[in-house]
Amino acid sequence: MTTTLNVNGKATPVEASPDTPLLWVLRDELGLTGTKYGCGIAQCGACTVLADGQPIRSCSTPIAALAAAKITTVESLGGNHPLQVAWVKNDVPQCGYCQSGQLMSATALLATKPKPTDAEIDAAMSGNICRCGTYQRIHAAIKEASGQPAAKPVAAKA
Q: Please state the pTM of the whole predicted model.
A: 0.93
Give residue 32's Cα distance to chain centre.
13
Residue 150 and residue 144 in contact, taking contact as beta carbons nearer than 8 Å:
yes
pLDDT tens-place string over residues 22-64 = 999 999 999 999 999 999 999 999 999 999 999 999 999 999 9
Q: How high is the pLDDT of residue 146?
A: 97
Give Cα separations from 134 to 13, 138, 141 (angstroms): 37, 6, 11
For 51, the enclosing helix (H) or strand (E) is strand 48-51
More confident position, 96 or 70: 70
Mean pLDDT, the chain, whole residue set:
94
Q: How high is the pLDDT of residue 12?
A: 96
Q: How high is the pLDDT of residue 149?
A: 87
pLDDT tens-place string over residues 101-131 = 999 999 999 999 999 999 999 999 999 999 9
Residue 92 and residue 141 in contact, taking contact as beta carbons nearer than 8 Å:
yes
